[in-house]
Chains A and B, each alone.
Chain A
Amino acid sequence: MANARALDKRRKSVRNIRKITRTMELIATARFKKAMDRATAATAYTRRITQLVSDLASSGLQVRHPLMEPREETNSALLLVLTGNRGLCGGYNGGVIRQAIPRHSELKASVSKLRLEVSGKRGISALQFRDIEPDEKFLNFDDQPRFAEVEVIANRYLEEYAAGRLDRLDVAYTRFVSIGRQEAIVETLLPLGGIEGADSDAAVKEVTTGESMYEFLPSAESILEEVVPTSFKVKLFKCFLDAAVSEQIARMVAMKAATENAGEMIKQLSMTYNRARQSQITGEIMEIIGGVEALKK
């Protein structure tokens, strides 16, 4: 029979772990709420940009921009991988890496110049473990990515794309679908496939009339020239926001499961401990009785 004292020690350590995971769960919940609020607040901008584009489209303007035209030949590509800086969040980082690696090797085979940029310590070390060295590393994105920081990266991509040094941009991240569902995906952000609002039904209907109630200052073309890069920046920002929210949810779920498992383990350990103690007591009583019996003779 197992040693009762050893069992008790083990139970104590499991209890401590449970305390830690429980705290981490609570922290993740609080952070998730904050990140979620930010993500919701950010949708106001996206909604208005969409509205703006559909207003532009309804004025009979062809929504065309160099950023939206696919390149005839893709010579240089860039893969951006968004992972977390910290672990203990279930399959969150692994999921993104599992999506990113096949795309990486696929692009490597078809494109002559491929660069890899990774955000998050976990992603960097996971890729380095597989002998893939990122060209650029970001560690400054946590649960609340700031637009100013994302904009710097976005501007660099736009510049390189305009200069012809970049033909394609893929982003591997975890998309937030709902609180119960997040999925790791790889999305192509450049060239921009299309802007939301540009081909909505209402816009198409009004194009035929070719009239719009809006006056454009200085001109619709000039506004379009600015809208397209902005919508790219917002799209990239949304990737970062989604990744941040998903990370917190993943951590929350993982820590909740860990807490529950620790609770179950404590229950089981307690049972074995009680049994061990009981058998010890029984053994001692038997010894005493045996001694008494022996003295009687």
Chain B
Amino acid sequence: MAELNCIVVTPEKTALETKAEFVAMPLYDGEIGILPGHSPMIGRLGYGEMRIRAGGKETRYYVDGGFVQVADNVVSILTNRAVLGTNLDAAAAREQLAAANKRRATTDDELALRDRLVVQARAQIHVAERSK
């Protein structure tokens, strides 16, 4: 069976380059799973858990927004941050969540910013707990 070539790039470096059988990641409005032979696609990523299955083993990452591009069995993930689930700092995320919930948001922009912080923090806590 064909394999996926999964490349995760952050602005600082190429975080990961690996072969995979299956990749699942959070899109802007829901999760997407990609198997070999997927049709070409460009998607906008959300905040949440990315799972990469290679050789029957699953690795969990937290991705922080960005884009995904699929073509010719190459999955390129462009994200601000890709952190291995076990390296996530759940305590810091909880702090961010608490701080974000306390923020006062009166305008649309502020509301959007607060929502983003909340979603980010929740996703991080979720991924951290699942990869324990």
Q: Which of B44, B76, B109 lies in contact with A226, CB distance below 8 A?
A: B44
Stretch at the interface among B24-32, B55-63, B87-95, B97-105: B24-32
Q: Hey, which chain A residues are within 8 Å of B10, CB to CB?
A: 45, 147
A234 CA / B66 CA spacing, docked (Å): 12
Encoded as 1 (CB less than 8 Å from any B CB) or 0, chain A from 37 to 60 comes to 010011011001101100110000
In the complex with contacts A45-B9, A146-B12, A237-B11, A227-B67 CB distance below 8 A: yes
Decide if B81 is an interface residue (CB 8 Å cutoff). Answer: yes
A217 and B42 within 8 A (CB): yes
Decide if A129 is an interface residue (CB 8 Å cutoff). Answer: no
Decide if A213 is an interface residue (CB 8 Å cutoff). Answer: yes
Q: Hey, which chain B residues are within 8 Å of A51, CB to CB?
A: 69
Determine how close the nearest CB of chain A comes to the CB of B26; give it in whole angstroms: 12
In the complex with contacts A215-B39, A223-B42, A41-B13 CB distance below 8 A: yes
Considering residues B42, B43, B80, B113, which has the most beta carbons from chain A within 10 angstroms of its beta carbon? B42
Interface of B: prevailing SS: strand
In the complex with contacts A159-B109, A230-B66, A42-B29 CB distance below 8 A: no
Encoded as 1 (CB less than 8 Å from any A CB) or 0, chain B from 8 to 43 comes to 011111100000000000011100100000011111
Determine how close the nearest CB of chain A comes to the CB of B81; give it in whole angstroms: 7
B42 and A55 within 8 A (CB): yes
Decide if B52 is an interface residue (CB 8 Å cutoff). Answer: no
A54-100 CB contacts (< 8 Å) to partner B: 55-56
A230 CA / B10 CA spacing, docked (Å): 11
Decide if B78 is an interface residue (CB 8 Å cutoff). Answer: yes
A93-117 CB contacts (< 8 Å) to partner B: none
Q: Which of A55, A220, A222 lies in contact with B69, CB distance below 8 A?
A: A55
A42 and B43 within 8 A (CB): no
Interface size on B, residues (CB 8 A): 27
A48 CA / B43 CA spacing, docked (Å): 14
Q: Hey, which chain B residues are within 8 Å of A223, CB to CB?
A: 42-44, 67
Q: Hey, which chain B residues are within 8 Å of A233, CB to CB?
A: 11
Determine how close the nearest CB of chain B comes to the CB of A33; give it in whole angstroms: 15
A213 CA / B71 CA spacing, docked (Å): 9
Q: Which of A147, A214, A222 lies in contact with B11, CB distance below 8 A?
A: A147
A55 CA / B78 CA spacing, docked (Å): 15
Residue of B nearest to A51 (CB): B69
Q: Which of B9, B71, B109 lies in contact with A44, CB distance below 8 A?
A: B9
A151 CA / B28 CA spacing, docked (Å): 20
B39 and A147 within 8 A (CB): no
Q: Hey, which chain A residues are within 8 Å of B9, CB to CB?
A: 44-45, 48
Determine how close the nearest CB of chain B comes to the CB of A225; give it in whole angstroms: 8
7 contacts between A and B (CB under 8 A): A42-B11, A44-B14, A214-B69, A215-B41, A218-B27, A218-B44, A223-B44
Known: A52-B42, A218-B28. 16 other contacts (CB 8 A): A42-B12, A45-B12, A48-B76, A147-B10, A147-B12, A148-B81, A159-B109, A214-B69, A214-B71, A215-B41, A216-B41, A217-B28, A222-B44, A226-B67, A233-B11, A237-B11
